[in-house]
Copies of this chain bind each other. A is one copy, B any other.
Amino acid sequence: MATASGFESATRVRDLGDGRYAGEIHEGWDIGGNANGGYLLAMVGRALCEATGRPDPVTITGHFLSPGKPGPVAISTSIVRAGRRFTTATATMAADEQPLLTVLGISGDVSPVESMEWSDRQPPELPDPKVCVPMQTGDALAPPFRDKVELRFHPDDAGFLRGEGGTGRAELRGWFRLPHGEPVDTFGLLCAVDAFPPTIFNADLPMGWTPTVELTVHVRARPAPGWLACRFGTHFVSNGFLEEEAEAWDATGRLVAQSRQLALVPRA
């Protein structure tokens, strides 16, 4: 059940008319004082879906312009085209007239449909969440929003958390859910795909947070209740940039979200 301090409450928006919405960046969703990008994207995604009258973000691209700090934000939306199945819209979140995040997205309905089904990928093989590794208060790398979402890392990928070195692979596998039994809806997926520490922490590269420039999420289905199995990976660190991909699978083994972000390489 969602609590007052939960994700739904922390991403809620209030309709002000004319496509404008009011929201609030809640305390505790930050990394080093700056609100998590996926959390902000979820809030803008809600405004975009409310403005377009469709239930789910189908694909959404966010460009991160300035760090978000706790406090009120204004979201202005603009519909580009309302089609039969999808509505395309833009939205910008601002605080004190300063744009924080601008978005281009499509809303629609990702309820199950009859479809050709094919894949050459499986969910990551993860031990039971009980034997996976949580973030802990003592961890140098634990982002402060660790009590807002529950993460459990594959034990093989979690050495870097305790200063034991990485795996040499820029990959991080683990579980994601919201605390207190709050279900993860399609907006929660926008948060999930940006909730893990940078994958390069595992590649024995110089560490540092990797500021997100752009994040695109494809929401492929509504998740079933329960933990999401997630795989994060990076393949190319070059010319000042890196990309990070995420896949999230629900408890029935279905792919529910896929994302890629472009981020800045930390300065050596």
Contacts and interface: CB of A to CB of B under 8 A. Distances in A.
Interface of A: 58-59, 61, 63, 65, 80-81, 83, 86, 88, 90, 92, 99, 102-104, 106, 110, 112-113, 115-121, 169-170, 200, 203, 205-206, 213-214, 216, 218, 220-221, 235-241, 243, 254-255, 258, 260, 262, 265-266, 268
Contact of A118 (B58, B115, B170, B260): B170
Given A90-B90, A106-B213, A119-B235, A218 B241 contact: yes
B120 A238 contact: no
B104 A81 contact: no
A106 to B, nearest CB: 6
A216 B106 contact: no
Nearest to A99: B81
Of the listed residues A120, A254, A255, the one surrounded by the most CB atoms of chain B closer than 10 A to its CB is A120
Q: Which 5 A-B pairs have the closest CB atoms?
A: A104-B104, A118-B237, A61-B61, A59-B214, A115-B240
The number of times this chain is found in the oligomer is 2
A60 to B, nearest CB: 9
Given A102-B88, A106-B213, A119 B63 contact: no
A116 B205 contact: yes
Given A113-B239, A216-B216, A216-B260, 20 more contacts: A58-B213, A59-B63, A61-B214, A63-B80, A65-B88, A80-B102, A81-B99, A81-B102, A88-B102, A115-B239, A116-B268, A117-B238, A118-B200, A118-B205, A119-B236, A119-B238, A120-B235, A121-B236, A220-B236, A220-B239
A178 to B, nearest CB: 23
12 contacts: A58-B213, A63-B88, A88-B102, A90-B102, A110-B239, A115-B265, A119-B238, A218-B241, A218-B262, A220-B238, A238-B254, A243-B258
